[in-house]
Amino acid sequence: MSKVFDALAREQAAVPNAAQSGALSALLEELASAKAKLSGAPSEKLSAASNAGAPSALSAIRTAPLRIAQRAPLLPFDGEHAQGAEQYRIARTRIAQHPNHPSMIVVSSAGRGDGKSVTAINLAGSFSLKAEGAILLVDADFRHSSIRKQLGLGAASGLAEVLEGKCALEEGLTRAEQLPNLYILPAGDPAANPGELLDSERWRELARRLRQLFGYIVVDSPPVAAVADYELIQSVSDGTLLVLRPDHTRRSLAAEALKAIPQKKLIGVVMNSVPKRFWFGDEERTSAS
């Protein structure tokens, strides 16, 4: 995970003004401490100042390291995949400048295997690198959850347990050690039907609370037409990003998904794993987009 540490250090150049320098210094201080932990060197306990970019309500949440497989297409901000990383930054900028100012964003797809979870992780990671407050990544795909495994997080309570009243929100959240502004709410292990959990006042109330705590909330959702869960998730969101994969997504499913998403809620379409022949210029550009 050294690539994530290096990327965060380089992103300090993107902080636009000196008013954020205190928060940035705190983040870099924590970065050095976390890096020492993973390298096996002794390190002191993280200081309270390292939570400068997060609301005080989040200060007691457990912190855990992300453990990502070396070849996984996740958090490509280390300089080795410059074009892929730039595409996520472009997506981040377009969302930030969207006229509707969406803050709770659903990432969905037309079908399975289109890359929505990878897109959700990378988009949330891109937002967290801006050092402008707390960012939340939510795995709401109860039936095919994957974010906890992809990020190498241990078994823990998550969204399901929060909605079932088995644990408090703070107990379900995990803060990424390498990316101090990034918080993850995994899917958990639902005992009840996922549709019942989402078709509840508890889910709607949780969405309202998350908006108060986080600057941006990125929600990994089931595919648009797969189950009723998507509709219940998007009903409390500001908009949907639809992920399509040219070599995989069936055109009929893509057309149905685009028709099913209300026009006012369609933030945009992300083309994932675009073949290099469709890229312009440099032959070595990555295929992530």
pLDDT in tens, 129-184: 886 689 999 999 999 998 999 998 988 899 999 999 999 999 999 999 988 899 99
Q: What is the pLDDT of residue 276?
A: 59
Q: What is the mean pLDDT of the chain?
A: 77
Residue 250's alpha-carbon distances to 111, 174, 245, 255, 276, in angstroms, are: 8, 35, 9, 9, 20
Pick 48 or 199 by higher pLDDT.
199
Q: Average pLDDT of 82-91?
A: 78
Residues 12 and 21: beta-carbon distance below 8 Å: no
Residue 175 CB coordination number (10 Å): 20
Q: How far apart are CA 113 and CA 249, in angstroms?
A: 8
Q: What is the dihedral of CA 210, 174, 240, 222, to 10 degrees?
A: -120
Q: Is pLDDT of 287 > 80? A: no
Cα 97 to its chain centre, rounded Å, is 18
Q: What is the dihedral of CA 90, 95, 99, 103, to 10 degrees?
A: -160
pLDDT category at 208 given cuts 50, 70, 90 is very high
Q: Strand pairing partners for 218?
A: 105, 137
Specify the pTM. 0.77
Give 150-154 contacts, CB < 8 A, sequence gap 24+.
Answer: 150/68, 150/72, 150/74, 150/117, 150/118, 150/121, 151/66, 151/67, 151/68, 151/74, 151/121, 151/176, 151/184, 152/65, 152/66, 152/67, 152/68, 152/69, 153/64, 153/66, 153/67, 153/184, 153/186, 154/64
Convert 50-72 into a string of H (helix), E (strand) and C (coil). Answer: HHCCCCHHHCCCCEECCCCCCCC
Q: What is the pLDDT of residue 17?
A: 34
Residues 77 and 13: beta-carbon distance below 8 Å: no
pLDDT category at 260 given cuts 50, 70, 90 is very high
Q: What is the pLDDT of residue 84?
A: 72
